[in-house]
Amino acid sequence: MEAQKQITVTSPLLPPLEELESYMKDIWSRKWITNNGHYHHELEQALCDYLGVQYISLFTNGTLPLITALQALRITGEVITTPYSFVATTHSLWWNGIRPVFVDVDPRTGNLDPDKIEAAITPRTTAIMPVHVYGNPCDTERIRAIASKYGLRVIYDAAHAFGVRVNGESVLNAGDISTLSFHATKTYNTIEGGALICHDAETKQRIDYLKNFGFAGETEVVAPGINSKMDEVRAAYGLINLKHVDAAIEARRRVAECYRTALRGIEGITFFDDMPHVRHNYSYFPIFVDAEQYGMSRDELYFKMRDVGVLGRRYFYPLISTFSTYRGLPSATTSNLPVATRMADEVICLPLHHELSEEDVERVIACIVR
- Predicted local distance difference test score (pLDDT) of residue 370: 79
Q: Are 367 and 310 in contact (CB under 8 A)?
A: yes
Domains of the chain: which residue ranges?
17-241, 245-368
Residues 129-165 have pLDDT tens digits of: 999 999 999 999 999 999 999 999 999 999 999 999 9
In angstroms, the CA 168 to CA 330 distance is 40
Q: Quick one: which H or E segment has residue 294? A: helix 291-294
* pLDDT averaged per 10 residues in sequence order, the chain, 370 residues: 80 95 97 96 98 98 98 98 98 98 98 98 98 98 98 98 98 98 98 98 97 95 96 98 98 98 97 98 98 98 97 98 98 98 98 97 96
User: Percentage of the chain surpassing pLDDT 90?
Assistant: 98
Residue 3, pLDDT score: 63
How many Cα atoms are found within 13 Å in the side-chain-facing hemisphere of 108? Answer: 8
Question: What does pLDDT average to over the chain?
Answer: 97
* Cβ-contact 282, 253 below 8 angstroms: yes
pTM over 0.75: yes
pLDDT in tens, 271-320: 999 999 999 999 999 999 999 999 999 999 999 999 999 999 999 999 99
Q: Which of these CATH numbers, 3.90.740.10, 3.40.718.10, 3.30.830.10, 3.90.1150.10, describes 245-368?
A: 3.90.1150.10
The answer to whether the beta carbons of residues 60 and 195 sit under 8 Å apart is: no
User: Can you tell me the distance from the alpha carbon of 163 to that of 50, in angstroms, rounded to the nearest whole number?
Assistant: 8
17-241: CATH topology: Aspartate Aminotransferase; domain 2 (3.40.640)
Residue 320: the pLDDT is 98
| pLDDT given at position 340 | 98
Q: What integer pLDDT is reported at residue 4 of this predicted model?
A: 79
Q: What is the pLDDT of residue 1?
A: 41
